[in-house]
Every structure is written in structure tokens, then in C-alpha cells.
């Protein structure tokens, strides 16, 4: 998961504050990008009237403080938050975006989080009002704010089991470059693969290599630095731009046997499949005020989701309803078992950490406490060695709370800690897979129940009640 730097938003030329706020929010709240507004969340404001509320707060600020600014006034702050495809659902992304905004502003500023799903990667647009909720002050951007928000973002990643950008660069990259090995292979990558394949045929010399590339469909442009162009390329690609191991000199050295060719390694992962979403209850939405346009969209959406649901049932041989229920129950049980296992391991890891500290403190202060006891629990002795005696008492109390009768060695605790940590990591990988499987099965079952109607659901409830 990645975030961009904070972007202060100004009125600009030819716009008043109200127009500027509306322009900003209208883009973020685009219904085609946010599932017709379903993926928009407002904090201390109504997302539908956020522009008016932001403007009102600024007028209140000016009235209360008497401070006014010109065209350079910051009216709001904008932050983008992107997720690797397949890691989160749109709803989870929206929740994480709200958590990021709330923590970063300490809950003192109104904000909206708009989750866009029109691209292959889910991303959030987070916009918060520069004016505080009490209209007495403004959010002040500070030196190093970008680094601070990235650290907070990384913390949220770890808490939610998401990947992070290990070494973020100062300047942003395009999405394809940031996505790295999951991106669509470039023309240079295709050319490198073609050269690797040609070298595998063991051509006699460099000219023979170029002939093999011509046979593969590449046009060769001779010159001081040879260049090649494939069928779907607009421009020639020079060999010296393909990276290490692909220049003319290096290829000639490989052909003469002076060095071994090491192909450029790039793992091209398949794009994750689309997730199955819950069906929309169209009648409920219409009663809530949705219009005809939403109804048309929802019907198409439901058809697509039912098609994906049927495909899932067919691929997993779950065409019998009882089989689907059994599979869902098994997946839920497995998820709960792994969740319990992880919680138990985490509790024990915490106990070991406390125990190690208290054993060290107990050993360091034991002689002092023995002397204190021999002194008849003298108040004078206590005053002179109060810190050591208190540490010793706390250590003994911790042993009693953990029901420790015989103190283990620190070395044995370290070995147990390492073993538990390894087990937790293994279990967590299984836990994420079990969670994804359970969520998918629950969604599929909910869609099937929706399709079958309330009669079948009531029948199932009666059946379960009878079994009890």
C-alpha cells in the first residue's frame, strides 16, 4: 500500500472558495468511480453537502478570528492512498482510508474518503477541511508531513496484514512502475525474451543472432549501436538500453564463449480475478431514494455478480445447496480455529516478553531484597534501596499472576519465543487464505440465498432449529 505526499488545495485564479471546494469534491465523489456513492464516507460532515459545510466553517473561522487570506489560502488537503490489486476489498480500503485520516488529523477536522474502483488498483481520495471542527484554527502542514503520513500508513498496513512499499522514493512513479513485476510486460521485456530465446539456439556469431531475431519478426536497424523494432512497436529500441547483459559487446562476449549469459529475470504474475460481490437489494435502494439510473446500473451489476457466483459454484462443484452450506461452515470453522491459535500464540509471546524482563529484574535485585528481609524490613533500608525492592516485588507479583512456580531460564524462554513466532507466521499465512476463502463462500452463499428467496431461507432456519 502506498500514499502520496500531502497536496494543499488552493482556490486558484478565477475561482471563489465555494467553487474551488466543489470542483475538488465533485471529482473525488464521481459516482462512476465510487460505485454510485456507496464507497464514500464522511466524518463530521455529510458527503453530499461537504462543499457547503467546508465553506461554512471557513466563514465561521473568519468571523471568530478576524483572519482572512487571499488566493494563497489553503482550503483543504488532499491525499491519495493506493492498494495492490487483490489485497483488499473496496469496503476495507474505505475503512482503512477513514482510519488514516482520523489518526493523522487527530479527529479534529471533517473529511471525506472516496474509494475509486474504476482502475485495476483500488485507491482512496482523502480530502479534509483545513479548518478545524471548532472553527478556531487551521491545519498547518509541517516539514516532513509526507514522511509522517507514510509512517502512519505503514503502521496501518502492518495492523491489517497488508504489504508496504519498502523503500519509497522521493518522487512518485507511475502506477505500472510502482506495481513492478505485476505490470504488463513492456516492449523491452519482450525484446529481452526474444534475445534469450535466440541465444538458446546457439548462433555462430552476432550476425547469426540478428538473423534469428529477424526471423522472430523484429526489424533490425544497423549502426554504431544496433536497434530493433517489433511488430507492435512505434520506435526502435537500442540494445544498450536493455540493461546489463544485452549490449552488443556483452552479447558478442557470450557468443564467443568469454562469458555466460544471465537472462533478465522478471516474474509476470497473472492479474487477480475479480472478486464476487454481494447482490444489491434494488427495491430497498429505490425506497431509500435511488433513481431510475441507479436501478438500471444495479440490474446489470446483479447479473454480473450472479454469473460470477454460478461460475464459482460450477468450478468448485458446489451445485448442491447442502454442499455449499457444509463448505461454508467448514471454512468458517477453519478461520475461527486459526484466529484462536494466533491469539493464543500472541498472548504467550506477550507473557514471555514480560517474564524475561521480570526474571532479569528478580535476579538483579534478589541480594538486595534478602538483605532487606534480614534487616527486619527496616524502613531506613527501604528508603535507601526503594527502587530495587520495588522491582523485586513487582517481579514476584508477575510470577504469581502467571502462575510460575519454578523460574525458567532466559535461554529456554528465548527458544520458546522463537518457536512460537515461527508458528505464528506460518499460521498467519494460513489465516489470511482461510479468511479470503470464508469471505468468498459467505458472499456466494448470500447471493444464492437472495436468489432462492425468503421461503428457502425460512426452510433452512426451521431445519436448523429442528436439529437442535
Q: Assess whether 71 and 45 both reside in one domain.
A: yes
Give me the number of domains the chain comprises: 3
**Same domain, yes or no, for 65 and 159?**
yes
pLDDT digit of tens for each residue in the chain (468 aa)? 556 667 887 765 555 655 666 677 777 777 778 877 788 898 888 777 777 778 778 878 888 888 877 666 788 888 888 888 777 888 888 999 999 999 999 999 999 999 988 877 888 999 999 999 988 888 888 777 888 888 888 888 877 777 777 666 555 555 455 455 445 577 888 888 889 888 888 888 999 989 888 888 899 888 888 899 987 788 899 988 888 888 889 998 988 888 888 877 654 444 445 566 666 666 777 677 777 777 777 787 777 788 788 888 888 888 888 888 899 999 999 989 988 888 888 888 888 888 888 888 888 898 998 998 888 888 888 888 888 888 888 888 888 888 888 888 888 888 888 888 888 888 887 888 888 889 888 888 888 887 776 655 555 555 555 555
Query: Does residue 191 share a domain with residue 140?
Result: no
The pLDDT value given to residue 126: 92
Nearest to 416 by CA among 342, 353, 343: 353
Last residue of a domain, one of 135, 169, 203: 169
Residues 380 and 231 in one domain: no
Give Cβ neighbours of residue 13 (< 8 Å, ≥ 6 apart): 71
Per the domain annotation, does 396 fall within a domain?
yes
d(CA 148, CA 170): 13
d(CA 339, CA 452): 32
Q: Does residue 279 belong to any structural domain of this protein?
A: no
Say yes or no: 200 and 242 in one domain: yes
Which pLDDT score, from 0 to 100, does residue 113 have? 92
Distance of alpha carbon 387 from alpha carbon 393, whole angstroms: 10
User: Is residue 192 within 8 Å of 241, Cβ to Cβ?
Assistant: no
The answer to whether residues 19 and 154 belong to one domain is yes
Residues 164 and 226 in one domain: no
Which pLDDT value is given to residue 15? 58
Count CA atoms within 13 Å of residue 30 on its CB side. 11
Instruction: Report yes or no on 213 lying in a domain.
Output: yes
109 in the same domain as 207 = no
Q: What is the pTM of this model?
A: 0.40
Q: Say if residues 41 and 98 touch (Cβ distance below 8 Å).
A: yes
On whether both 21 and 160 belong to a single domain, the answer is yes
Residue 319 lies in a domain: no
* Long-range CB contact pairs, 28-35, < 8 A, 24+: 28/112, 28/114, 28/125, 28/127, 29/112, 29/114, 30/114, 30/116, 32/118, 33/114, 33/116, 33/117, 33/118, 34/114, 34/115, 34/116, 34/117, 35/90, 35/117
Report d(CA 188, CA 109) in Å as an integer: 47
Query: Of 255, 280, 302, which residue constitutes the final position of a domain?
Result: 255
What H or E segment, with its residue span, contains residue 238? strand 237-238
**What pLDDT does residue 98 have?**
93
Tell me if 353 is assigned to some domain. yes
Chosen domain end from 216, 235, 255:
255
**DSSP class of 239:** G
- Selection from 172, 183, 180 nearest residue 79 by Cα: 172
State the residue range of the domain holding 148: 2-169
100 and 235 assigned to the same domain: no
CATH code, domain carrying 87: 3.30.930
Mark whether 219 and 131 lie in a shared domain.
Answer: no
Same domain, 159 and 251: no
Amino acid at each position: 500500500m502506498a500514499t502520496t505526499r500531502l497536496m494543499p488545495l488552493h482556490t486558484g485564479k478565477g475561482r471563489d472558495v465555494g467553487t474551488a471546494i466543489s470542483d475538488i469534491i465533485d471529482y473525488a465523489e464521481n459516482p462512476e468511480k465510487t460505485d454510485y456513492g456507496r464507497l464514500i464516507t464522511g466524518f463530521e460532515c455529510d458527503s453530499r453537502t461537504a462543499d457547503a459545510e467546508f465553506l461554512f466553517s471557513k466563514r465561521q473561522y473568519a468571523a471568530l478570528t478576524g483572519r482572512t487570506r487571499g488566493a494563497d489560502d489553503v482550503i483543504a488537503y488532499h491525499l491519495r492512498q493506493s492498494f495492490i490489486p487483490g489485497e483488499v476489498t473496496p469496503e476495507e480500503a474505505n475503512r482503512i482510508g477513514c482510519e488514516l485520516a482520523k489518526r493523522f488529523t487527530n479527529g479534529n477536522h471533517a473529511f471525506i474518503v472516496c474509494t475509486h474502483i474504476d482502475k485495476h488498483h483500488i485507491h482512496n481520495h482523502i480530502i479534509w477541511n483545513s479548518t478545524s471542527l471548532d472553527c478556531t484554527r487551521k491545519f498547518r502542514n509541517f516539514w516532513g508531513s509526507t514522511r509522517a503520513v507514510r509512517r502512519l500508513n505503514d503502521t496501518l498496513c502492518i495492523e491489517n496484514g497488508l504489504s508496504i512499499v519498502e523503500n519509497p522514493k522521493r518522487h512518485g512513479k507511475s502506477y505500472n512502475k510502482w506495481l513492478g513485476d505485476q505490470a504488463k510486460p513492456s516492449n523491452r521485456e519482450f525484446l529481452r525474451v526474444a534475445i534469450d530465446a535466440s541465444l538458446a539456439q546457439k548462433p555462430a556469431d552476432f550476425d547469426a543472432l540478428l538473423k534469428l531475431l529477424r526471423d522472430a519478426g523484429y526489424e533490425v536497424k544497423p549502426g554504431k549501436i544496433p536497434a530493433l523494432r517489433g511488430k507492435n512497436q512505434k520506435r526502435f529500441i537500442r540494445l544498450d538500453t536493455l540493461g546489463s547483459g544485452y549490449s552488443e559487446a556483452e552479447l558478442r562476449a557470450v557468443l564467443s564463449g568469454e562469458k555466460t549469459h544471465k537472462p533478465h529475470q522478471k516474474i509476470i504474475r497473472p492479474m487477480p480475478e475479480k472478486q464476487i460481490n454481494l447482490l444489491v437489494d434494488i427495491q430497498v435502494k429505490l425506497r431509500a431514494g435511488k433513481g431510475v439510473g441507479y436501478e438500471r446500473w444495479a440490474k446489470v451489476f446483479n447479473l454480473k455478480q450472479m454469473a460470477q457466483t454460478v461460475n464459482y459454484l460450477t468450478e468448485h462443484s458446489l451445485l448442491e445447496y447442502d454442499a455449499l452450506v457444509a463448505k461454508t461452515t467448514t471454512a468458517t470453522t477453519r478461520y475461527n480455529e486459526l484466529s484462536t491459535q494466533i491469539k493464543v500464540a500472541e498472548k504467550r509471546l506477550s507473557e514471555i516478553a514480560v517474564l524475561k524482563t521480570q526474571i532479569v529484574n528478580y535476579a538483579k535485585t534478589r541480594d538486595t531484597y534478602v538483605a532487606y528481609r534480614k534487616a527486619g524490613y527496616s524502613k531506613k533500608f527501604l528508603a535507601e534501596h526503594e527502587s530495587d525492592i520495588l522491582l523485586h516485588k513487582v517481579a514476584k507479583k508477575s510470577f504469581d499472576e502467571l502462575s510460575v512456580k519454578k523460574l525458567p531460564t532466559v535461554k529456554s524462554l528465548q527458544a520458546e519465543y522463537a518457536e512460537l513466532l515461527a508458528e505464528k507466521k506460518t499460521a498467519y499465512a494460513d489465516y489470511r487464505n482461510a479468511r479470503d476463502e470464508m469471505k468468498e463462500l459467505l458472499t456466494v452463499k448470500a447471493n444464492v440465498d437472495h436468489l432462492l428467496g425468503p421461503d428457502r431461507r425460512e426452510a433452512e432456519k426451521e431445519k436448523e432449529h429442528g436439529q437442535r
